[in-house]
Amino acid sequence: MLVNKPNNEKVLKIFSAIRCLSRDQLPRYMEGRLTDVERHLVEQHLTDCDLCYDALTALEQEENTERYQDLTNKLQRYVQNSIQPVSHVQKVAQYTRKEKNKEHMLAYFWIIAFIGLGVGSVYVLRGHMRNQPPVRIMASSLPQKDSVREEVATGVPLVTAAENNPGTTTPAPAATPAIQTSAKPATAPVHPDSAALKKAAALKVLHKTAAADCIKKHTLLQKQADSLKKEAADKVTAKAEEKKPEQRPEQKPAAPKEKQKEQAPPPDPPKRETPSTAVNSDEYLYKAAMVYQQQGNLNEAINRYKRIESVSSGKYVEMARYQLAICYRSKGQAGKARRMFKEVIRMDGSMKAAAQQALDGM
Amino acid sequence: MQQQLTNLSDKELISRARKQLDREAESVLIDRYSHLLVAVTIPHLSSQPNLDPNIVFPALLQRLNASLKTQTIYKANEWILHIQKGYLGKPEKNTPFYPSRDGRDLLHIENTVDKAATNIIDRQDLIVRLEQALQRLSADDNALITQFYLENKSFADLTAATGLPREKLRTQLKAAKAKLAKLFMNQGYAS
């Protein structure tokens, strides 16, 4: 058994795969310069491998040996020259392709980045522009402001007057006369006045107060527009209720004359020059009171009417009294209402008939 | 890279050349067999003077390159010899290379032996089966194989002992081995 064992292991040799003869082994085998073990391995392989055996038999013929060396070297050189450069070329091509791709990607990246930057800047600029205009107007409001004020002055001058009377701001009353004068280019020279106005505005009115004025004027103009609308609506309703259509057209020419005579409360000098503006102010106050009355704020309305009664003159006093009477009546103060109606009757104005009617109806 | 590739087996080089289109692996493989290819082709070149080695070898390499991508190659030496014979025998016809049944049997046994080298149990089993197959072989073949493989006798010794030329001795050995392989493969059915 022990003796047999090496033999047993050797059985496997029959079927063990052996590599082909190398370039070095082949001539050495032919010359018998191999060790026993190596030779045995080569011979084992030669039994299986036709290629190696054919090569061996071919080389054993004398004349082939020289050619063999020469051709083998040539073929090896050929293989190395033909195949390796190709692979090298391939590698170079791959590398260059990669680099090109990288460059392309970089170019795309920059294009996209610039587009994004452009879009972003446009967006930001638009946002800036949207926010800019009010700032610009505020910045340039110093020269432009007089035009706004002109509108105010020509349209309803007493708005500013009314604003100035209760208002505590000192620069505004100083500015208003100049504006009002500049509003009349026919009567007064324009250039010095506008220059004076600019100077006054530049000196006295600071940026913040100017902005505040702008806002105030905007709101006032809005209020005015609202009240005008409401007035129109009121007129319609009042006419329907009280059936006095000709009352106002009759009184409007009369009012300025009275105003010129009385002209008591407002200290503004230009009011004499513009009597219609006083009428307008009375009308405005009256309408404001009417608004309160319509809103149901009777106490405030009564206060306003009382002020009109005490301050203004002409038909507005009568109308204010009449409205006062109506306010009292709607408040349930029949005695006061009756007294007011009687006063209206005693004034013997255009509201007399209506007052009489109301008194009779009570 | 070249140095690392030369250490790889034929199988690995072929798979690299095929799957990864690694031309370096292909070149290493061709380089490994180039001297044998030259040696095998020289008799043809000398016998047929119209053949120019500057044309024959590049054409051969081209054929090898083409068939490397398409053919199943079990043994590189058999494949190269087949291509070379095909080219020199019938240059116009490109016959594909198919290993014979015997060749595949031999390859299978070689692979099992190779695997059993690291597994003692498998190896013992394989040894027993090979011994059994060897016993079934005819006495002449058995004696030849025993002398050549187990007793490490060289061709020279055997030719001297038997009086046969080397060529014949080799064919006999080859045939005996093929018989042994067949017996080994058919053992399962016989016993």
| Residues 67-96 of chain B whose Cβ lies under 8 A from any Cβ of chain A | 76-78, 80-81
Q: Give the model confidence (pLDDT) of A191-218 as tens digits.
A: 555 665 655 566 655 555 555 665 666 7
Alpha-helical segments (H) within B48-100? 53-70, 76-89
B-chain residues near A26 (CB < 8 A): 35-36, 39
B-chain residues near A75 (CB < 8 A): 34, 37-38, 57
B-chain residues near A7 (CB < 8 A): 150
Q: Give the model confidence (pLDDT) of B115-160 as tens digits.
A: 888 888 888 888 888 888 888 889 988 888 888 888 888 888 888 8
Those residues with Cβ within 8 angstroms of residue A155's Cβ, 6 or more apart along the chain or in another chain: A224
Residue A205, judged by CB atoms within 10 A of its CB (0-12, 13-18, 19+), counts as buried
Interchain proximity B24–A84, CB inside 8 Å:
yes
Q: Is pLDDT of A119 > 90?
A: yes
What is the predicted pLDDT for the residue at A212?
62
Please tell me the distance from the alpha carbon of residue A224 to that of residue A157, in angstroms, as a whole number.
12
Closest in B43, B76, B134 to A58, CB measured: B43
To the nearest 10 degrees (0 to 180), the angle between helices A298-311 and A315-331 is 160
Return the amino acid letter for A174.
A
Closest in B45, B76, B154 to A40, CB measured: B154
B-chain residues near A86 (CB < 8 A): 23
Q: Give the model confidence (pLDDT) of A328-340 as tens digits.
A: 888 888 888 888 8
Q: Give the model confidence (pLDDT) of A78-117 as tens digits.
A: 888 776 666 677 788 889 999 999 999 999 999 999 999 9
Closest in B24, B42, B117 to A67, CB measured: B42
* CB B126, CB B112: distance < 8 Å: yes
Residue B109 touches chain A, beta carbons under 8 Å: yes
What is the predicted pLDDT for the residue at A109?
96
Alpha-helical segments (H) within chain A? 4-11, 25-31, 36-48, 50-59, 62-139, 141-155, 157-164, 171-183, 190-204, 207-242, 247-262, 270-273, 275-295, 298-311, 315-331, 334-347, 352-361
Interchain proximity A75–B38, CB inside 8 Å:
yes
* CB A45, CB A18: distance < 8 Å: yes
User: How far, CA to CA in Å, does B75 sit from each of B19, B97, B107?
Assistant: 18, 11, 9
Selected for mutation to probe chain A from B11, B35, B182 (highest A CB count within 10 Å) is: B35
- What average pLDDT does range A164-187 have in this prediction? 44
Radius of gyration from C-alpha coordinates of chain B:
20
pTM over 0.80: no
**Checking phi first, is residue A312 left (phi over 0); if not, alpha (psi -120 to 50) or beta?**
beta
Q: Provide the Cα torsion A8, A12, A13, A16; round to 10°.
A: -170
